[in-house]
Each structure stands twice: as C-alpha cells, then as structure tokens.
Structure 1
C-alpha cells in the first residue's frame, strides 16, 4: 500500500486497505463542533507544557541525542518521526524524565526537573505507554489500578477510575481476566487504560501500535485519537509510520542521528511533496 499526498502516492508504506480507511475516518469524522467537523489539530493552546534546552546524551564517546531547544504546548500532539536509531525513543525517555540527560534542562509546566526537587513527584505528573504492554501478573483491573494505588488512591476509588477507562478502551469485559490470557491488542488497551486513569499532564507514547496486527492497530488508533480529542491531553508520540501522523498529530518533528531536522505543523508537513517527506524521513533533507 502507499500513502497519498498531494495526489501522488508514496510507495514505501505498507498497510491494509481496512487500516487506511480507518485513518481517513479519524481525519474526517473524529468530531463536530457547532455543526462543523473538528480534527485534533485544532485542539491546542499557547501555554507551554514542556520545554527542553541544550539536551545532550552521550554513548560510547558520541552524542546520540543533541537537541538545542524543544517546546510542547498544552493540548498539542507532537509526532516524533524517524527511522530506527534516529534517537526518537531516547528523546522520549529524556522528556518523560525516565533518563537524565548528560547536559541540558527539562521543564515540566515551568518547573525544572533534575534540580534537587522530588523527581519522582514530577515523573508522576507524566504518563508513558511503550511498544510492548508492561503488565504485571494479575487481572486487567489490578494492572489498570496499579498506578493509582501506588499514588495512594483508595482501592474503591482506584477501581472506579480504572473501570471507567477499561470501558473507554473496550476491555471492561476483561477486567477480571488474568493478563496472560489477553490478546496483544487487549493488553495494550489495558496499558492505555492504566495511564489515562492517572490523568497525566503529558502523555508519552513510544510506538504503542507497532506490535499489533494491522486491523487491531487501526481500530485502537481510531479509539485513541477520539480519546485525545475529548480530553485535550498534551501528547508526545514516537512513530516511524507516516500514516499515523495526519489523523493524530498537530505538529511533527523528524529526527536523524539524534538531531531534529524538521519541525512542521501537520498542515505544512502534509503539503510537502512525497519526495521531500521521504528525504526528511531518511535524513537526506534537513530543514533546520
């Protein structure tokens, strides 16, 4: 399959017809406001939710991440694009306070991280979902409650909030099943329910659809997009799949060899020629 841009087709992205239809439905039918269709790209503010400055991460004598500056506004959905090894996941871990950079500063809601303050408390303001569902042995409900319980929320309240999100992601029927019996898609839905139950200030997604089969990926993508529209949650998501960008992102950055080589709003990105997009994706065209 191919991605259609400006009437042309990019021949390198393989998706089923069913999956491509789901992406188009998100872009065109995700919601209405005052009788007009609304997409996620309309929903962000000017207030800064996250700011990073002079970020460097070293490995084996070389900088695998070098980001002079990056900001994310409240309600913005930032796609981080690039091939394997471009530095996407390292950037996400640094921004989510899971890895301390060797140099530079991270600010969450204006508060500086790693500055002697309680880093755990700051980290608890954030939510992360990885490629593989990280679930502990036990029921789906136990896992969905876990983050809340670790934050001191009473069992009854944690269960109420977790069940709400299990229902939202269509796995309430699995609440009392052991997670070892769940499909990959169901397990990832439980992971999403767990993080949304925490109501994080910023959500980080590290290719959360990559381990799913195409039909499951497309359906979960659509459901997640609808939830982000409803909640207005600030989101940073890592992807190497261009098809995920038009229906989900409001802004796109592309990375190559640990550096940001492009920073576009989604409209500008989508208006680029297929040749430009492929060049940016592979790191052969730099716009910064």
Structure 2
C-alpha cells in the first residue's frame, strides 16, 4: 500500500539456537494504531525492538517508508521513531530536562526545545511539574513525562511497550483516553504492545496476534475477538483466538 510507513519481510530473530521470531510480513500504515498481543513469551517486545531498530534481526528486512534499514541509515530512521517502555527510564533531573533530552541530542534549537517541551507538558497535564525531579513523581506522573518526551520528538512512529501495566486502573484508564486523543490529533502511527486486553479497544485500529514468535492472526477488534468493542465478554474471547485452529 502506498500509505505504508513501516514494513517487515522474512523476519527472523534468534538468541543462540533458539528462534524467537519468524514473521513473513507485517505492515503499519499512516495514522494507524496496531495492538500487538499474545501470551507471555510470544515475542511481542522483541518484535517491537526489532521494528524500532533497537535489535538487529538474524534475517530479514525492516523498511521505513519503503527504504530498507541498513547500518548506514539506521540512526536517521531511528530519529523518526520514539519508544515508550513499561518503566519510564527517566534521568535523575527535572521533568523539563527529561522531556528536553531527546531534542537536545537531535540538535534542536533552544527556542524550539522550549516551545515543544512546554506544549507537551501542558497537553499531558504536567506543566506544574516542570521543575520537579524525577524521583519525586508518582508512577502515573512519571509515565506522563515519558509520553511527553516521546511526543516532543514529533516521531512518525511511536512504539509503546506495555507502558501502563504497572499503573492502577483509574490512572491507566485516564492515560489510555489521553493517548487515544493525542494519537488522533497528531496522526502519529503507533504499535502498542499489551498483555492487558482491556486496553485494546481504547486505542487500536487493528490487532495482531503473536504466538510462538509467529503472527497467527491480524484484523479489526471485532474480527479477532468476535465481539463488539467495550462489551464485558470480549476478554474471555481472547482465549478462543489462541486455542482456535486458526491460531495453531
């Protein structure tokens, strides 16, 4: 498709003799959010890190806007991406400096940094925390800082690796709703890894099911779970996905 932003072909990743991933094809399109789900050990986080060019595949190609990633252009491509992990991984400095860090590393002019940091602190409701140090933040506040740092980079693709799993339900729900709004407003494409399937209908256009390192099913929420979003019984339907012949 001509609106494909990220694509992988014939992807394999091994650790020693153990095959972690074996994926024929996967694609992310402009303005799309894909939920990557699967059982523990399915390879979800590994696939995310390979697509984010943080891990080198054993075999295969990662393409960004139709251009294969190579050692020569990997850094330039990575600068069009941002990653939010389960742990915020904040520096021991102020909230402002944490959000500004990536922009400084990219050589963004000082006034532009000030403008972007201020905007994203405001949009994520943490402008009042700008001068607070990272160790003084709650879990939800720290993850908001991590999101602000990622969005301030104005990436083409945002990778989210179970970013809310350590948060309580009200905080998680609030951040999911805000993230949904921000992705729609900015048009940033995203891949969202989660083990909490209650998060899936809040954000995603498509769902990709990973099992034993292989993509076994992709489709809309309703196609995968066989129920309409937000109905109470959709979580239990997940197990049918893994146990069905199609997922075998």
TM-score band by shorter chain is over 0.9
Q: Does 1:128 align with 2:87?
A: no
Aligned residue in 2 for 1:71: 27
Using the alignment, how far apart are the partners of 2:217 and 2:246 within structure 1? 5
Q: State the partner residue of 1:15.
A: none
- Give the C-alpha shift of residue 122 in structure 1: 1.0
Per-residue deviation, 1:88: 0.3
Matched, 1:279 2:234: no
Could you tell me which runs of 5 or more consecutive residues in structure 2 were left unpaired when the two chains were aligned: 228-232
SS of 2:56's partner is coil
How high is the TM-score relative to the length of structure 1?
Answer: 0.80
Equivalent residue number for residue 246 of structure 1: 201
Cα distance in 2, alignment partners of residues 286 and 135 from structure 1: 43
Tell me whether 1:143 sits opposite 2:98 in the alignment: yes
Instruction: Name the structure 2 match of 1:205.
Output: 160
1:87 corresponds, among 18, 22, 43, to 43
Cα deviation for residue 270 of structure 1 reads: 4.1
Give 1:167-182 correspondences, 5 Å limit.
Answer: 167-182=122-137
Name the CA shift for 1:181/1:143 in 2 (closer, same or farther; >3 Å).
Answer: same
- Partners of 2:131 and 2:220 lie apart in 1 by 42
Question: Which residue number in structure 2 is paired with residue 263 of structure 1?
Answer: 218
Matches within 5 A, 1:87-236: 87-114=43-70, 116-236=71-191
TM-score, length of structure 2 as denominator length: 0.92
Check whether the contact 2:14–2:58 (CA below 8 A) recurs between aligned residues. Answer: yes
Contact 2:226/2:237, CA 8 A, preserved across alignment: no
1:46 Cα deviation after fit: 5.8
Question: What is the alpha-carbon distance in structure 2 between the residues aligned to residue 197 and residue 234 of structure 1?
Answer: 15
Flag the 1:184–1:276 CA change in 2: closer, same or farther, 3 A: closer
RMSD (Å), alpha carbons: 1.6
Conservation of the 8 A alpha-carbon contact between 1:276 and 1:285: no
